[in-house]
Structure 1
């Protein structure tokens, strides 16, 4: 059982991989022997990250805009042209929007739902042939959807479409997991708590003193936390974990009650 957590030789795709949680997972995968494709909208930032990550393994950047159906399908096609099999798909790309309830705009709803929910469904759908080709009964292909504790507990923020989208990701994970389990594709999700990222940096200035002490584990999430969880969900060790959302938050949801 010494190789239970090995992902060596696997092909992984990570959307939104140029920064934050996506880049953390990408480094963890690369350091553990996987070939990793990362995507993002901004080409310069994507290429800079890929260059830095290439010190740890084979990292391939692909520009993709998952903010539209056409962009999602174009990204899937680019992957299909490069890889006959995909072992791991991490649906990490995300968007958020904040506005008071009385003023929350429709475009702030539609943009977030497109990236956070619709693109997950359709990118996974388009890559099913590659995922099916990679999976086996002993070691299925993996899809990991990045949800959020905001989809589980009250966010204390005016990010209405974001929290709704992440709740949808959790249910979509359950639904698709059951339908695809017989195809040797395991689908699970991770619901991160407070990690330093571009999406949370506006909170860090005002909460860097209080956020760690408000979390039972007394600190923010670190790269090793999210990478280790993603590696577990991608390895033989989790082959019988199917349709679940693993909460990764230092105890914040448990504390919320």
Structure 2
């Protein structure tokens, strides 16, 4: 065993949804820095192309943008068709794109609930299903492909905010991922979840501005997550090091879920 190459992802073909900002951009940056070929997608075409250009210039890997609105079934179909024209297989699918909505239980809008659950749960199934021919094209039990679903610690605990659709969708995603892992492992496709805690992202911006010091004070590590934390966990799951990890949920939260108040 060459232990020096346990975390090697050079030349792997990777698709990262929501890859133009926040956690998705952190993940894409990590893979490009490690020499992989990354496709990123998001609704904002201008931002998507801009980030792809910047990451490719940094190298040594490559980043290519395929903008798409993942709320739409037809857009997912188009995304996978375009990817299939460029590549004959896919090594890693990272389902990161997501939405949130915070409103009181008395006035929580039905349309908002549908939007969040559709993107955070249903369309992850849709995209993974559509990518299966690419994910299985070169996969074997000795060299598996990897689906990494970005969940949340709010899918494990009840969050303090009134983000009912978000916590429900992430909890559902965690369990759906276990279900998919049990079915797809035989086909050379591993499915795992990363449940992040506090990271600097658009979704967390308002929360960190208001409660950042309080959140950090409760963590034993005394900081929020860094790009290396989330990218490193993804690279582990995508590399030889993670080949025996299937159907698990890895919390990357500085211990937020297990933290208890000091007496």
Q: In the TM superposition, what is the alpha-carbon distance from 1:256 to its structure 2 partner?
A: 5.4
Shift in CA distance, 256/92, structure 1 to aligned 2, threshold 3 Å: farther
SS at match of 1:101: coil
Q: In the TM superposition, what is the alpha-carbon distance from 1:19 to its structure 2 partner?
A: 0.4
Equivalent residue number for residue 200 of structure 2: 196
Q: In the TM superposition, what is the alpha-carbon distance from 1:206 to its structure 2 partner?
A: 1.1
Q: In the TM superposition, what is the alpha-carbon distance from 1:154 to its structure 2 partner?
A: 1.4
State yes or no: 1:89 paired with 2:93. yes
Which of 47, 50, 63 is equivalent to 1:48? 50
Equivalent residue number for residue 180 of structure 1: 184
Q: Extract unaligned runs of 5+ from structure 1.
A: none
Count how many residue pairs are aligned between Structure 1 and Structure 2. 257
Which of 12, 23, 29 is equivalent to 1:27? 29
Deviations 1:176-235, CA, capped at 9 Å, x for gaps = 001000100011010000001000101122123222112221100000000000000000
Which whole-Å CA distance do the structure 2 matches of 1:4 and 1:230 have between them? 13
Q: Is the 8 A contact 2:39 2:66 kept in 1?
A: yes
Equivalent residue number for residue 219 of structure 2: 215
Higher mean C-alpha deviation, range 133-142 or range 152-161: 133-142
**So what's the TM-score if we normalise by structure 1?**
0.97
Which of 159, 162, 165 is equivalent to 1:158? 162
CA RMSD across the alignment: 1.1
Equivalent residue number for residue 10 of structure 1: 12
Which whole-Å CA distance do the structure 1 matches of 2:218 and 2:112 have between them? 29
Q: In the TM superposition, what is the alpha-carbon distance from 1:128 to its structure 2 partner?
A: 0.6
Deviations 1:8-39, CA, capped at 9 Å, x for gaps = 11100000000011000101101111100000
Following TM superposition, where does structure 1 have runs of at least 4 consecutive aligned residues deviating by more than 3 angstroms?
Answer: none
